[in-house]
């Protein structure tokens, strides 16, 4: 089962920060305090949409066809994701 990258604290709902990264190849560990990029803070369905959008070379027409939705509906979904990213960036997160 694939686990999603956690972006909020399961105890209080606060935002999480990354404190270390580890390379399984050489064993190197990098420690510090790093913000989670705004794009990773999207909800799983929004992140799946962005992934599909990139795979379709940014074609909303292709996305609409693949998703079985109308073009305006897909455009509205993209606009909602853009608004969410703007809010996340405004809250101090970066893409």
Q: What percentage of the chain reaches a pLDDT higher than 70?
A: 96
What pLDDT was estimated at residue 92?
63
What pLDDT was estimated at residue 14?
86
pLDDT digits (tens, 9 = 90+) for 43-78: 889 999 999 999 999 999 999 999 999 999 999 999
Q: At what angle do helices 44-55 and 60-67 cross, to 10 degrees?
A: 120
What pLDDT was estimated at residue 91?
78
User: Is the pTM value of this prediction over 0.85?
Assistant: no
What pLDDT was estimated at residue 95?
43
Torsion of CA 89, 86, 45, 78, to 10 degrees: -150
Domains observed in the chain: 17-90 (1.10.10.10)
Query: 88 by DSSP, 3-state: which?
Result: helix
Average pLDDT score over residue span 6-23: 88
């Amino acid at each position: 089962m694939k686990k999603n990258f956690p972006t909020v604290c399961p105890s209080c709902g606060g935002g999480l920060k990354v404190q270390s990264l580890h390379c399984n190849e050489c064993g190197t560990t990098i420690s510090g305090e790093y913000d989670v990029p705004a794009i990773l803070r999207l909800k799983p369905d929004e992140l799946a949409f962005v992934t599909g959008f990139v795979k379709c070379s940014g074609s909303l027409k292709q996305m609409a066809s693949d998703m079985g939705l109308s073009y305006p509906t897909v455009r509205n979904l993209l606009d909602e994701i853009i608004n969410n990213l703007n809010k996340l960036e405004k809250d101090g997160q970066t893409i």
